[in-house]
Amino acid sequence: MRYRSMREAMESGETLVFGHRGAMAQAPMNTLAAFDLAREQGADGIELDVQLSHDGHLVVIHDETVDSTTDGRGSVSQFTLSALKRLDAGGWFAASFAGQRIPTLDEVFDAFGNEMLINVEIKARRDSLDRVERQLADCIRRHNMRDRVIVSCFDPAILRRVRSMTPLVMMGFLHQPDMPAAHHRPLRRMRHEARHPRHDMVDEAYMNWARARGYYVNVWTVNDGERALQLKGLGVNAIITDEPGRIISAMKQC
């Protein structure tokens, strides 16, 4: 790992590259194969999504259902961990990835936590929110990942509760142009270190605004090399991309 902590990386003056759900353009998203490929391509970190299985385990999957990224059908929350582990999470992408499984967050931390920074996005159903937050806080403590993760979410209330449980873990607020202003109000009552805007929101004015408030800026999802160079020139702290290898190569031109 180039950086000992997320904060050190954000303060480095470099534009970091995070693999969005791993290197998801070349491997099935949110699988160990996708995260391993992002590492091979030279990414500084990975971004992933977590939610709870029926029996309360943190699993790494984006959608509320397993339909589009496994050979199963139904809501993630309806499956126990053992049932989720029986699903094929790679064959839908390519035959060469058949047999990939939905990983737990414990497995990802074990495999990559000592080498990569990790952005954990909470994808949670309203009926499981408190359990997700507590499980995440416990998992971070168990693996001693406090300094190497940033927790992100579109819901400020979730971030506020995670902060109360893990006050030293960095928090990033995800946002996009169509979010109503009222959605941002809870942020006034919650300390957070980073803003995670959709990349087309970011220009010089946005960066000036963020710097004036002391926020790091980590943008999503950038797959165009020219745009990555523009964002690097603006001084964003991190770029989240489906193609880390391609974006890293593009930024080396500058």
- Find the Cα–Cα–Cα–Cα dihedral 167, 9, 144, 210, rounded to 10°: 20
d(C-alpha 9, C-alpha 194), whole Å: 13
Residue 122's nearest CA partner among 70, 92, 87, 160 is 160
Structure tokens at 17: 């590259």
Are 50 and 59 in contact by the 8 Å Cβ rule? The answer is yes
Is residue 20 part of the annotated active site? The answer reads: yes
Given the residues 20, 57, 143, 192, select the one marked as catalytic. Answer: 20
Count Cβ atoms below 10 Å from residue 173 Cβ, excluding itself: 22
The three-class DSSP label of residue 128 is helix
Is residue 183 part of the annotated active site? The answer reads: no
d(C-alpha 28, C-alpha 85), whole Å: 15
Are 227 and 202 in contact by the 8 Å Cβ rule? The answer is no
Residue type for 184, please? Answer: H
Count Cβ atoms below 10 Å from residue 110 Cβ, excluding itself: 12
Given the residues 54, 57, 62, 175, select the one marked as catalytic. Answer: 62
Structure tokens at 117: 């920074």
Return phi, psi of residue 18, to 5°: -115, 135
Residue 35's nearest CA partner among 80, 92, 81, 102 is 102
Known catalytic residues are 20, 62
